[in-house]
């Protein structure tokens, strides 16, 4: 299958994340999808910097079997160039009828493009483990959540949320932080699945993000000081490299749904199977 990945971040953020031991958003998403299917033929585009007309020369959306939108450090409700560059592409990718999956920013930019609303989370930043994500009755029945428990945890990092879903969207999951942790649009020929969390992330990726946000997390009261942040980042990197470390998994409450790749990426696997 041919998959188009839309990297929602600006290059400067991607390179900063790389310098701190993380992976640029598009490359990280590619690694996750290829973990599920090594034979995928993947193309990455970067509209935040390159604008909405950033497909490779001669390529068109209909060349692809599926389209995945990554996360981003941008705010979908702010009208700066990097955001406005992505709105028409978000509209056209979903309107094409090609199966589209969006993580975090990917769900938010699609929501705005189709008339929904995005805002800063009133309760503040949700980062690390998103807990007690509960499926709605529609979510329990939806193929995106096949083989997923009705209540689960997931790797997450967001300070914004979809507060109003687009017309025709069906909400599949929520938790105490955000009422909308997942929605789908499958009306009028659309085939969009979106989640607020990051099934494509690893614990090592979260560790790099902790380091990138640094003082902002300390100022928000999530860490006592830089030493506490560094310890958690180092421990999560260790747990990524040695997933059998039950002591670290227990200490941080990282259950199998967040730690084990096949369970963490259930939604992405189900999406690939649906194409």
pLDDT tens track, the chain, 275 positions = 999 999 999 999 999 889 988 899 999 999 999 999 999 999 999 999 999 999 999 999 999 999 999 999 999 999 999 999 999 999 999 999 999 999 999 999 999 999 999 999 999 999 999 999 999 999 999 999 999 999 999 999 999 999 999 999 999 999 999 999 999 999 999 999 999 999 999 999 999 999 999 999 999 999 999 999 999 999 999 999 999 999 999 999 999 999 999 999 999 999 999 99
DSSP conformational letter for 78: S
Helices 11-19, 203-213: crossing angle, 10 deg rounding: 110
Q: What is the CATH number of domain 2-201+258-274?
A: 3.40.50.880
| CB-CB neighbours of 143 under 10 Å | 13
What per-residue confidence (pLDDT) applies to 22?
87
What per-residue confidence (pLDDT) applies to 82?
97
Q: Please, which residues bridge with residue 68 across strands?
A: 5, 101
| CB-CB neighbours of 250 under 10 Å | 10
Backbone angles phi, psi at 207, to 5 degrees: -60, -45
Residue 263 token pair: 């369970």
Give yes or no for a contact between 48 and 8, defined as CB atoms under 8 angstroms apart.
Answer: yes
Question: d(Cα 17, Cα 63) in Å, to the nearest integer?
Answer: 31
What per-residue confidence (pLDDT) applies to 228?
97
Q: Taking CA 33 as the corner, what is the angle to CA 168 and CA 112, rounded to the nearest 5 degrees?
A: 30
Residues 6+ apart with CB under 8 A from 126: 156, 157, 158, 159, 177, 178
Residues 6+ apart with CB under 8 A from 266: 145, 146, 147, 148, 199
Question: d(Cα 106, Cα 267) in Å, to the nearest integer?
Answer: 14
């Amino acid at each position: 299958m041919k998959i188009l990945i839309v990297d929602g971040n600006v290059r400067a953020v991607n390179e900063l994340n790389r310098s701190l031991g993380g992976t640029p958003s598009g490359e990280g998403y590619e690694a996750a999808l290829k973990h599920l299917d090594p034979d995928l033929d993947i193309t990455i585009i970067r509209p935040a910097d390159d604008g909405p007309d950033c497909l490779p020369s001669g390529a068109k959306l209909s060349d692809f079997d599926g389209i995945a939108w990554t996360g981003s450090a941008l705010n979908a409700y702010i009208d700066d160039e990097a955001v406005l560059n992505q709105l028409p592409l978000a509209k056209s990718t979903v309107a094409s009828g090609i199966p589209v999956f969006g993580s975090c920013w990917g769900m938010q930019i699609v929501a705005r493009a189709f008339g929904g609303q995005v805002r800063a989370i009133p309760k503040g930043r949700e980062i690390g483990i998103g807990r007690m994500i509960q499926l709605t009755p529609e979510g329990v029945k939806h193929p995106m959540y096949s083989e997923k428990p009705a209540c689960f945890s997931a790797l997450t990092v967001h300070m914004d949320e979809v507060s109003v879903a687009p017309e025709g969207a069906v909400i599949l999951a929520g938790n105490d932080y955000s009422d909308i942790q997942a929605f789908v649009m499958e009306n009028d020929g659309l085939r969009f699945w979106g989640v607020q969390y990051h099934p494509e992330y690893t614990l090592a990726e979260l560790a790099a993000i902790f380091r990138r946000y640094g003082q902002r997390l300390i100022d928000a009261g999530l860490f006592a000081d830089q030493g506490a942040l560094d310890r958690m980042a180092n421990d999560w990197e260790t747990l990524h490299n040695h997933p059998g470390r039950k002591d670290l998994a227990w200490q941080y409450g990282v259950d199998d749904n967040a730690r084990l790749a096949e369970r963490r990426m259930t939604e992405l696997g189900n999406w690939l199977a649906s194409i």
